[in-house]
Amino acid sequence: MSNKGTIFEETAEVVEQLRFEADQFVTIVKAEKSSQTAKPGQFAFVECGGNTILRRPLSYLRSSKEDGTVEFMYKTVGPGLEALSQIEIGDEIKVMGPIGNGFIHPSNKNSAILIGGGVGIPPVLFMGEELKKANDDIELVAFFGSEVPFPFQTCTSDLGIPGTDQSLNATIDDMEKLRIPCRLSSQAGYAGCHLGLVTEPASSFIETLSDSEKMETVIYACGPEKMLEAVALLAKEKQLDCVLSLEEHMACAIGGCAGCTVKILEDDHEKMKRVCVDGPVFKAEQIYF
Q: Enter the pTM of the model.
A: 0.93
Q: Does residue 273 carry a pLDDT above 60?
A: yes
Q: In a 10 Å sphere around its CB, with 0-12 CB exposed, 13-18 middle and 19+ buried, how is residue 138 labelled? A: middle
What share of the chain in percent tops pLDDT 70?
Answer: 98
Residue 261, Cβ neighbours under 10 Å: how many?
17
CA distance 252 to 99: 11
CATH fold for domain 8-99: Elongation Factor Tu (Ef-tu); domain 3 (2.40.30)
Q: Domain boundaries in the chain?
A: 8-99, 111-233
Max mean pLDDT among 80-84, 167-171, 203-207, 283-287 falls in 203-207
Helix (H), strand (E) at residue 175 = helix 173-177
Where b means 16+ CB within 10 Å and e means fewer, 183-221 reads: bbbbeeebeebbeebbbbbbbbbbeebeeeebebbbbbb
User: What is residue 277's predicted lDDT score, i.e. its pLDDT?
Assistant: 87
Q: State pLDDT tens for residues 106-127.
A: 988 999 999 999 989 999 999 9
* pLDDT reported for residue 39: 95
| 167 pLDDT more than 80 | yes
Give the mean model confidence (pLDDT) for residues 134-159. Answer: 92
Identify the weakest region by mean pLDDT among 154-158, 183-187, 247-251, 261-265. Answer: 247-251
DSSP for residue 152: S
- CA separation for the pair 184, 31 (Å, rounded): 31
pLDDT exceeds 70 at position 78: yes
pLDDT digits (tens, 9 = 90+) for 216-228: 999 999 999 999 9
Looking at residue 239, its pLDDT comes to: 95
Name the pLDDT band for 6 (thresholds 50, 70, 90).
confident
Confidence of residue 4 (pLDDT cuts 50, 70, 90): low
pLDDT at 2: 46
Residue 91 backbone dihedrals phi, psi, to 5 degrees: -70, 160
Per-residue model confidence (pLDDT) at position 58:
94
Q: Where are the beta strands (DSSP E) in the chain?
A: 8-20, 24-30, 43-46, 56-64, 69-75, 92-99, 111-117, 139-145, 154-156, 170-172, 182-186, 194-195, 217-222, 241-245, 261-266, 269-274, 281-283
Q: Is the peptide bond before 122 cis (omega within 30 degrees of 0)?
A: no
Alpha-carbon Rg of the chain, whole angstroms? 18
Q: Identify the bridge partners of residue 281 per DSSP, sorted by sequence position.
A: 245
| The predicted structure's pLDDT at residue 3 | 46
Q: What is the pLDDT of residue 5?
A: 62
CATH code given to domain 111-233: 3.40.50.80
Contacts 24+ apart (CB under 8 A), 4-11: 6/37, 6/98, 7/96, 7/97, 7/98, 7/99, 7/254, 8/33, 8/34, 8/96, 8/97, 9/94, 9/95, 9/96, 10/34, 10/94, 10/95, 10/96, 11/92, 11/93, 11/94, 11/95
